Structure formats: structure tokens, C-alpha cells
Amino acid sequence: MPKQKTPWLRVHKPLSKKRQTFLTILSFLIPILLWCAVSYTPFIWHPDIKLDISANRSDVTTVYTAGDRLSKEYFPTFVDAVRKANADATAGINPNASPRATRRSNQKDLRQIGAVAVKNGWLEHEQTEDDAALYHIWRDLATGTKISKSPQLSEENLTIIKQNWATLSATSPDYKSSSLPETPILKLIPQGTASNPVYLPAPHEVITTGWRDFNASVEEGEITMSARFLQSIKIVFGGFLLSCLIGIPLGIMCGTFDFFSRLFEPFIDFFRYLPAPTFSTLLVAIFLANDAPKIALVFVGTFFQMVLIISKTTRLLDHSLLEAAQTLGAKPTQLLKNVVVPGILPNLYDDLRILLGWAWTWLVIAELIGVKSGLTEFIETQGRYRNFDRVFPIIFMIGFVGFFTDQILAYSKGFFFPWLRVGSSPLERLRQFFGVPSDQNKSKAV
Amino acid sequence: MNSSQLQLPSYLEQSDAVRSRFTELKERESVLTAKNLSKVFTSPQGKKIVALDNVNLEVKRREFLSIIGPSGCGKSTLMRILAGLETVTDGVAQLDGKTIEGPGAERGMVFQGYTLFPWLTVKKNVMFGLKMKGVGGVTAEQEALQWIELVGLSKFAESYPHQLSGGMKQRVAIARALATKPRVLFMDEPFGALDAQTRAQMQHYLLQIWKNVDVTIVFITHDLDEAVYLSDRILVLEANPGKVQEHIEVPVPRPRTPEQFLHPAFLATKNHIEHLIHPPAEDLYDDLPMLKMTKLGDEVE
Ligand SMILES: Nc1ncnc2c1ncn2[C@@H]1O[C@H](COP(=O)(O)OP(=O)(O)OP(=O)(O)O)[C@@H](O)[C@H]1O
Ligand SMILES: [Mg+2]
């Protein structure tokens, strides 16, 4: 018999386990591939030029150093301006007011080669202002002893280097601050590669900087990334557990007894509309410094929702189970302990998973109040310096931690509640997808 | 109606054995009594629905009483009042002479829907009532296992309800209700969702249990065969408002067997109830005002 093909799109029909897993993987793969495509295909987007050689323009105050980005439209005007300045210099026109100014300008132009030297590994990052070392780089490039592989210098720039070295070596073979020529040397023409804006670093940049930031040994008094991470975790779970401690019993009481529902829920319903961040200054005033006001903010953000959600879940408990228990002689307190609590537990568990997600959302705001702290402080600072390649790893990490906590909780649901016929977890699906036998296939009773 | 063409005795005719059984039964003490029971529901819009109107009832110890009547006549309401799950608007309901004021273990109940606790195994479900009473672990467990054996589910003592079939679930529910040794067992259409074969089996089980356990049973059903087969007496209710139409003493001798479904007394009783609940009405089988929508010559009847 020919194997019948089931279509992929069927209304309200689940796909086969294999297809589900395939799509799950794909749902992560698509954004990653898109990101890679945008990052690594030069003709897709790439609206900027990232400079390898800095753009020095004496007529404009803005200076773009190597690593900066210019828009593609703006870049040619910059190149032209530098060429014009060079032409002027060759023609003997000196824009500088005094010989001293010329020397200073020449020193600046000499340092243009620094970024190239660092990128080729000839100099350390700290040496970019070591003029004596830079002087020799000029010499080596001009004589061809050193050849820059990345970035590859343009013919135009190589000629400039040779001309400049001729001028420089005529004065002195070694660097002496007093012996720089008093006529302007030529400026290197800005060079760069097409790149995406600074807010979209490429995947490998994010991974490498992320790796570096996490393993970086920090100076005395500074905070390691793992310490920041632990601090953030402490705030999320501190606020969340505190909220659970009061919110779960209160929610269950409200859902079980109309008395508590009428007494508490109207106010809680009102209070949850007050945005939690508006309490930040108040919380700092009450709880002072350190983590206390931050934990309190996560608490305020989750607690009120928690009570309402749990009371609703409690109310959804099948009424006939309560009646059945009553005809078996259960008294109100026994009902609460033996029917209500175990009856709502699986749904409560799911509620808490959602609420834990809320707690993570409040974390970012919580860490910004009072003294900034934790992962958010790092994101804030680096974002301010536009070091987005350092920001993304942290954002992703928060995402991963939240996602995996939730997946683990979803996975362990079947373990906590063996009476539920829980659908197979993503891990189980992965196992099936790759044909790994599982120990979960318990025999089902007839 | 075919059965009326047969020469059936009157359902009021009782053989000597049956008559003496009823005399003996009437001498027993009353377990449940309802006097002038009325129940009025008020809908959220303020409309009043009279579910029960002046219902009187007396159930003797170890009697098997069925309640039958058209849908919406108040059968469940009456049972829930007797079980203490619903309050009365007027009148009194009593158990052993004491006014019923709320649910309790002395009045067990088996519901139509499956109300086993899904988070407990079969054994723990049956132990539930005992635990509420404060009966200790090992004793409760042993008693529970005995009840589970009685309903024939020993192999499933450690299974969860979702692993059982509908009939098995109802057997567990019966065992659970009986484990607290109630005076009365209320059953509201307990076998309604089961197929004919399972249902017959369950009826057989129930009669056996009732024979061996000191319990009075009040049983709601829509199935006339079931009512006649199981009961000593049948309470027929009429709808709008729910009122007692008739108390019927079933003239079929005991012990009951499935062969008795063709017993003349059985058929007579069934026939009578049928007439009570569905009075013969001419317009019931009127032709529908329909246009012919099929091709000519494409007749099915
Ligand atoms: N909680 C309630 N609120 C309002 N009306 C109710 C309520 N419970 C029952 N009723 C009404 O009381 C009447 C009797 O209901 P009941 O459930 O007792 O009928 P029933 O005989 O058990 O019907 P069925 O055979 O369909 O189960 C119905 O008209 C119903 O609408
Ligand atoms: Mg009913």
C-alpha cells in the first residue's frame, strides 16, 4: 500500500511528534538564520561603513576613529575631504597656524596607523599612543618589511605611507618628539568595510564578547558577571517566593470562601492597576539601600496578580468533587486540605510558571531603582557606551535562564503529578525525534 | 403499543410472596422521610422556578427505591435535598427522625458524572471517607481493599482514575461511598453514561452489593427496565411543578434475575409507568411539514 501523505496544515489536528519537534527546532533556527544572513551577507542591508583607518579631517571637529561607523552616503564626502587636504599639503598649503600646531597635527596623523598595527597583532592595544613604536611601523610598512593583511591597505594608502616615510626618514630614522617635520605629512585615506549599525552586532561578536565578559577576571572591588547574575537571581526568586508565601494561601482562601473574596479581591483588583514602577522611590524610602527595595518591587509586581489568578484557578475546581467529599463526611477544613489544595495543584503549578515569567520582567526595573545593580546595571552601562555586543549576551542569558527554568518546570510536571496525562515534554520529543528510547513508556492499565 | 395487546395482569396484582415481603417491609423503621417538601429556585433574573411542590416520601430500612420521571421534574433536586447538598424552601427532610441540615457520611452519594478524586489512586479514593472519619492508616487501607475486592477491582487498587473505564470508575465510586458504611446510598443516574452491556453488569453488581450490605438505596434513572428490575418501590414524579405522581410497589418477586425482564408482572409495571411518564399523545408522531427533496423513484420507505 502506498504510504499516505498527511498534509502539514490541518485545522485543529496535532501534527506527528516528529513534525512537532522539527518545527520546534525550526522556530529557533529561523531567527538565528535570519540574524546570520543579515550579519554575514554583505549585500543584505549593511548601511554603514565600519572604519579600519580613522578619518581625520582638519576642517571638521568630528573625528571618527577606527571601529566607528559612518553611513554609506556620508563616507565618500569624508574620503574626498581627506584627499583634498592631502592635495593642499602637497601644494604647500598648511592649514595650521604655527609649526607647533603642525607637529601636533602630524603626530595625530602618525597615530592613524595604530589601529592597523593592533589589528595585525604588531602592537598591543595599550601601545596605540606609543609614538616610537608607531614610527617603526611606518618604516616597516613603507619598506615592505611588514604587510598588512587585515585590513588590506589600498594602493592609495600604500603610496601615502611611502611618501610620508620619505618625509619622516629625511628628518630622523627614529622617533623624537622634537624632530617631527614642520610641514604637514599626508593623511591616510579612510578605509573600512560595509557593516550593520552598531545596535546589531554579528552572532560571533556576541558570542565572543559574551564569553570574554563571563570569564573576565575583574579588578579588586568590581563585580564579576556570575556575581551579578547571582544577585539578579536572588532578586527575582526572593521577590517571587515572598509573593508565593503570602499570595498562594490568600488566593486559595479567596477562591474557596466568598467571605475572603469579597473582603480582599476588590482592593487587590484596584491595586494591581497601579504600575509597580511608580512605587520605586517609595520602596527605596521604606527599605533603604541594597536589595530589599528591589525584592519589594518584584513582590509588588507579582503579588496582586498572583492572588487574583490563584483565586480564579481555585474557583475553577470541579464543584462536584467538593460535593462528593462532603457526602463522604469531609468538614470545611478537611475539604480545603484534602480536596481544594490537591485538586488545584496542577493548575496552580502552571499559574506559578507564568507568574515567574512576570517576576523576571520586573527584575529589570527593580535593578534600576536605588543603586543600580546586577545584570541590568551592566546592560545600562554598556548600552550607554553603545557596546551592544556586550549587551546582547546578557539579554540572551536572561532569556535562556527564564526559558529553561520554565521548560524544566514543564518537564517535571508529570513527575509531580503522576495522575495527569501530560503531553510529552520537549525533551521527550527530542528523544523521539532522534530515536533515542526513553524510560518513560510506562505500560498503561486497561 | 404491542405489549397492551398481550393479556397482562394489573401491576397492582401481587403474588403472596411479594405481598408478604411488602407487609414485612412496611413494618420496618423509616430511614428517610420527607414531609411537604418544596423547593423554589430563583433565577438571576428573579424568575421563580418551582422544582418541587409538596413532596412526601418515606423510605424504609434496606429498601431499594427508584425515582423516575421526565427530565427536569426535580429528581436530582429531591435527592440533593435528602443528601443535604441543597436547602429546602419549605417542609422537612429527616434521616432516622432527625432533620437533615447538611451533607454527611451517613448519606453516601454516587453521581452521574465521575467524581473520583483524580489525584488519588483507587485505594486512596476508597480510603477517603475513612480518613475523614479519623480511621487510621492500616485499618483504613484494609477496609478499603475489602471494598475494592467487593466491586471486583483488586487488580486496579494502585491505578489512577484516568486509567479506568467508565464502568470501573462507577464501581470505585460505589465502593468509596459504601466504605463509610452509610445508612443511605443515593445514586443519581449512576449508569447513565454506560453502554447497555456494562450497564446490565453493573445492575447485577449493585443488587449483589445491596443484598450483602446493610444499606438503603435511593436510585434515580431514566431507564424503566432498570427501575423495575432493581427496585422495591418506584416513585414517579411529574414535571412543572415537580410533584409525586404515584408510589408504585413493584410486583416482581425477588431474587431478581435478568430472565424476569419478560415476567408478566415486570411488563405490566413497565407498561404502567410508561403511560404515566409519556401519556399517549396523538400529535407525537404527526407528519412533518416537509417538501420532498429527493428524486422521483429514490424512495427509502
Ligand atoms: N441550581 C439551580 N438553579 C436554578 N434552577 C435549578 C437549579 N437546579 C435545578 N433547577 C431547576 O429545577 C428543575 C429540576 O431540576 P433537576 O435537576 O432536579 O431535574 P431532574 O429531574 O434531575 O432532570 P434530569 O432528568 O434531566 O436530570 C429544573 O427545571 C431546573 O431548571
Ligand atoms: Mg438530574
pLDDT at A446: 33
A289 three-class SS: coil
DSSP state letters, A27-94 = HHHHHHHHHHHHHH-TTSS--EEEEEE-B--TTSS--BPTT-EEETTHHHHHHHHHHHHHHHHHTT--
- Residue B150: inside a domain: no
Query: Domain residues of chain A, as ranges?
Result: 17-46, 48-195, 225-445
pLDDT at A445: 36
Ligand 1, CB within 6 Å, residue ranges? B 41, 43, 49, 51, 69, 71-77
CB contact under 8 A, B162 and A318: no
Question: For residue B204, is it within any domain?
Answer: no
Using CA atoms, how far apart are residues B186 and B105, in angstroms rounded to an integer? 12
Name the nearest CA neighbour of A403 among A414, A413, A395.
A395
Give the residue whose CA is nearest to atom 23 of ligand 1. Answer: B72
Averaged pLDDT for residues A310-316 = 96
ipTM of the complex: 0.87
Residue of B nearest to A335 (CA): B132
Which pLDDT score, from 0 to 100, does residue A1 have? 57
Nearest CA to ligand 1 atom 28: B72
Q: Say yes or no to pLDDT of B7 above 80.
A: no
Region A410-429 average pLDDT: 73
**Average pLDDT rounded to a whole number, residues B103-123:** 92
In a domain, B74, yes or no: yes
Does pLDDT of A432 surpass 80? no
Q: Among the listed ranges A249-253, B118-122, B211-215, which one has the minimum average pLDDT value?
A: B211-215
User: How confident is the prediction for chain A on average, in pLDDT?
Assistant: 87
Band the pLDDT of B197: cuts 50, 70, 90: confident
Nearest CA to ligand 1 atom 25: B71
Quick one: average pLDDT of B169-193?
Answer: 92
- Residues of chain B neighbouring A319 (CB-CB closer than 8 A): none
Q: What is the pLDDT of residues B243-258, one digit of tens each?
A: 899 999 999 988 899 8
Ligand 1 atom index nearest CA of B222: 25
Q: Which helix (H) or strand (E) holds A328?
A: none
Give the distance (Å) from ligand 2 centre to CA of residue B270: 21
Q: Is A67 on the interface with B (CB under 8 A)?
A: no
pLDDT band at residue A441, thresholds of 50, 70 and 90? very low
- Could you count the other beta carbons within 10 Å of the beta carbon of residue A343? 21
CB-CB contact of A309 with B84 (8 Å)? no
DSSP letter string over A329-386? T--HHHHIIIIIHHHHHHHHHHHHHHHHHHHHHHHHHHHHSSS--HHHHHHHHHHHTT
Residue B74 CA to ligand 1 center (angstroms) comes to: 5
Cα–Cα distance between A128 and A112 in angstroms, integer? 9
Cis amide linkage into residue A151, ω under 30° from 0: yes
For residue A92, count other CB atoms closer than 10 A to its CB.
8
Fold topology of A225-445 = MetI-like fold (1.10.3720)
CB contact under 8 A, A343 and B119: yes
- The more confidently predicted of residues B3 and A8 is A8
Looking at residue B167, its pLDDT comes to 86
CA of A325 vs chain B CAs: smallest distance (Å): 8
The domain tally of chain B equals: 1
CA B73 / ligand 2 centre spacing (Å): 8
Would you state the pLDDT for residue A60?
A: 63
Nine cell digits for residue B151 = 466491586
Say if A421 is an interface residue toward chain B (CB within 8 Å). yes
Identify which has the larger pLDDT, B203 or A92: B203
The DSSP H or E segment spanning B218 is: strand B216-220
Mean pLDDT of chain B: 89
Which residue has the least CA distance to atom 14 on ligand 1? B74
Ligand in nearest proximity to the CA of B74:
1
In angstroms, the CA A305 to CA A313 distance is: 12
A328/B105 CB distance under 8 A: yes
pLDDT above 60 for B109:
yes
Mean pLDDT (whole number) for A63-68: 82
Ligand 1 probe mutation, B49, B79, B222, B224, most atoms within 8 A of CB: B49
Distance of CA B188 from the midpoint of ligand 2 (Å):
7
Of the partner residues A323, A420, A445, the one whose CB lies closest to the CB of residue B85: A323
8 A C-beta contact, residue A250 and residue A307? yes
Q: Phi, psi at residue B53, to the nearest 5°?
A: -130, 105
Residue B84 counted as domain residue: yes
Residues 6+ apart with CB under 8 A from A350: A413
- The pLDDT value given to residue A47: 92
Residue B196 lies in a domain: no
What's the average model confidence in pLDDT over A270-296? 88
**Contact between A419 and B133 using a beta-carbon 8 Å cutoff:** no
The answer to whether residue B72 sits within a structural domain is yes
Question: How far is it, in rounded angstroms, from Cα A114 to Cα A116?
Answer: 5
Confidence of residue A421 (pLDDT cuts 50, 70, 90): low
**Mean per-residue pLDDT, B65-82:** 93
Q: How do B90-95 and B98-99 pair as beta strands?
A: antiparallel
CATH of the domain at B51: 3.40.50.300
Closest residue in B to A343 (Cα) is B119
**Residue bearing the bigger pLDDT, A215 or A331:** A331
Q: Which domain holds residue B14?
A: 1-106+184-190+220-279
Ligand 1 atom with least separation from CA of B189: 27
pLDDT band at A31 (very low <50, low <70, confident <90, very high): very high
Query: Distance between CA B62 and CA B30 in Å, rounded?
Result: 10
Cβ count near A15 (within 10 Å): 15
Backbone angles phi, psi at A328, to 5 degrees: -100, 5
